[in-house]
Amino acid sequence: MIHKQTGEKFLNEVLIIGAGPAGSVAAAMLVQKGYRVLVLEKQLFPRFSVGESLLAQSLGLIEQAGMLEAVQAAGFQYKNGAAFAHNGRYSTFNFAEKSSPGFGYTYQVPRGEFDHLLIKEAARMGAEVRFEVEIIAADFSGERPRITARGKDGSEELHQPRFVLDASGFGRVLPRLLGLESPSPFPTRSALFTQVYDGIPSGAFDRQKIRVTTHPKFRDVWFWLIPFSNGKASIGVVARDEFLQQYPGSNEDRLWALHREDPELSALLANAKPALPVGELRGYAANVSRMWGPGYALLGNAAEFLDPVFSSGVTIAMKSANMAAGLLDRQFRGETVDWEAEFAAPLKLGVETFRGFVEGWYDGSLQDVIYYPRQDPKIRRTICSVLAGYAWDTSNPYVGRAKQRLHTLAQLCRQGEAQADSAS
Ligand SMILES: Cc1cc2nc3c(=O)[nH]c(=O)nc-3n(C[C@H](O)[C@H](O)[C@H](O)COP(=O)(O)OP(=O)(O)OC[C@H]3O[C@@H](n4cnc5c(N)ncnc54)[C@H](O)[C@@H]3O)c2cc1C
């Protein structure tokens, strides 16, 4: 509450750790409800972040945060779905075909620009945002949280807000400081990624979709290609960590060696020129033992990260921010909020739906469904809904029961394939 050097008082009601999509959406929603909000961000924006492909559901959350016009005016690459490719087989899902109500399109965004735009919008609405201030300690044992932050010059300040939202992403500030981290059930996967001037000839590929390519030999290895509106694209490969580590040389050598293993993808990228150095993230899946406690809640990646295959990260981050802002408003108005029943449990419904899809992707069942050419149109629409991010729509039979249903559906698809083969 009092700056150790200047004596300045900090009277904010909500302190948000991190200015990524979760932090910005929470800040914007809370200031619009009339609360004093302070966002403290460790880095200077714009900063690089991986995770450039959004889902259609995120636009509804952006709209509710009052940022839709700014996002629509920014000139990002329009995205209307996802394309999957494996050994000459293709399958595309157009978000407009989804069964759930809501937006049927979204954007592919360089995250440095996108995240900066969102936090500038939150600041324009009245949130106080300070960059290059890092949260280093947290104590929730007293009546009010005590949060210590350190500025770039090394000075420390103590904040005593009424509530803390941890939106620190992979920084996982409160899980680390409060010992809430728990192992992810997923095997350790890693990613190599970069941005390129893609040089893809016009018409060679649909820039309005993310392209997910399954490796020709290994079905649990996959590549993303996410085109932007500025002639650049984000590319990357995901595999089990031990698989990726077999490839020798620099990150550049390893990324391109893997791309050369898929002839179609490497033909598409034949003219690509580097726009950024190749980065590597190892073992990013994360989990926590609890998503809230007295005086705090964990948003987005600070709580859990599943896997990038269905581009669900930003949508989950924004959904958690949207839910927490609504609950905090009620709590500040004097209502009793059951954070387990009203935040953790309903948020997990969507996260578990995505988890079922991720598990189905890696065990092959969802890939059998996706690449099956004679899919029932009604079933396709419900699968398309989850792929578009509507993972909380309880009218969709795949929501909350994705894994079992995908396995049953995959069996039917395999039988259909076998029958078609024997008839031909
Ligand atoms: C390989 C890979 C590919 C991905 N692809 C996609 C994709 O295509 N689409 C998608 O939606 N998601 C994708 N994701 C996930 C996506 O990147 C994240 O889910 C998303 O960025 C989470 O948003 P957030 O707001 O929770 O956190 P972040 O965007 O990570 O923001 C957290 C902020 O907190 C700040 N911070 C950290 N520590 C501190 C501290 N101590 N004090 C103050 N500030 C701090 C950080 O500097 C950062 O700016 C991908 C992830 C990986 C690993």
- Which residues, other chains included, contact 254 with Cβ-Cβ below 8 Å and sequence gap of 6+? 192, 244, 247, 248, 278
Question: Percent helix, strand, coil in the chain (nearest 5)?
Answer: 40, 25, 40
Q: Are 245 and 277 contained in the same domain? A: yes
Domain boundary among 225, 257, 282: 282
On whether residue 4 sits in a domain, the answer given is no
Res. 1: pLDDT tops 60: no
Contact between 399 and 386 under an 8 Å Cβ cutoff? The reply is: yes
Q: Are 241 and 271 contained in the same domain? A: yes
Determine whether the shortest distance from the Cβ of 38 to ligand 1 is under 6 A: no
SS3 per residue for 61-93: HHHHCCCHHHHHCCCCEEECEEEEEECCEEEEE
Residue 267 alpha carbon to ligand 1 centre in Å: 31
The total domain count for the chain is 3
Give 360-374 pLDDT, tens digit per residue.
999 999 999 999 989
Determine whether the shortest distance from the Cβ of 191 to ligand 1 is under 6 A: yes
Q: Are 344 and 372 contained in the same domain? A: no
Give 343-397 pLDDT, tens digit per residue.
999 999 999 999 999 999 999 999 999 999 898 999 999 999 999 999 999 999 9
Give the tokens for residue 96. Answer: 């407009």
Nearest atom within ligand 1 for CA of residue 314: 11
Q: Are 140 and 39 contained in the same domain? A: yes
Q: Are 143 and 106 contained in the same domain? A: yes
Determine whether the shortest distance from the Cβ of 22 to ligand 1 is under 6 A: yes
Q: Ligand 1, atom 35: nearest CA belongs to which residue?
A: 18
Confidence of residue 5 (pLDDT cuts 50, 70, 90): very low
Give the three-state DSSP class for 294: coil
Determine whether the shortest distance from the Cβ of 51 to ligand 1 is under 6 A: yes
Q: Are 200 and 77 contained in the same domain? A: no
Mean pLDDT of all residues in 207-224: 97
Residue 11, pLDDT score: 53
Q: Are 67 and 96 contained in the same domain? A: yes
Q: Write the CATH number for 201.
A: 3.30.9.100
Determine whether the shortest distance from the Cβ of 314 to ligand 1 is under 6 A: yes
Determine whether the shortest distance from the Cβ of 168 to ligand 1 is under 6 A: yes
pTM, two decimals, is 0.96
Q: Are 18 and 151 contained in the same domain? A: yes
Rounded distance, CA 231 to CA 234, Å?
A: 10
Longest dimension (CA), the chain: 82
Q: Are 278 and 316 contained in the same domain? A: no
**Cα–Cα distance list, 6 to 1, 9, 153, 158, 403 (Å):** 11, 9, 13, 12, 56
Q: Are 329 and 408 contained in the same domain? A: no
Determine whether the shortest distance from the Cβ of 167 to ligand 1 is under 6 A: yes
16, 24, 41, best to mutate for ligand 1 pocket (most atoms within 8 Å of CB): 41
* Residue 260: domain span: 189-282
On whether residue 106 sits in a domain, the answer given is yes
Scanning the structure block, which residue is given the tokens 């008082």?
9
Share of the chain above pLDDT 70, in %: 97
Q: Would the CA dihedral through 24, 100, 312, 179 be positive or negative?
A: positive
- Which residues, other chains included, contact 91 with Cβ-Cβ below 8 Å and sequence gap of 6+? 83, 84, 370, 371, 373
Residue 286, pLDDT score: 82
* DSSP for 39-69, written as a single string: EEESSPSS---S--B--HHHHHHHHHTT-HH
Domain boundary among 306, 326, 349: 349
Residue 92 alpha carbon to ligand 1 centre in Å: 27
Q: Are 130 and 241 contained in the same domain? A: no
Q: Are 55 and 143 contained in the same domain? A: yes
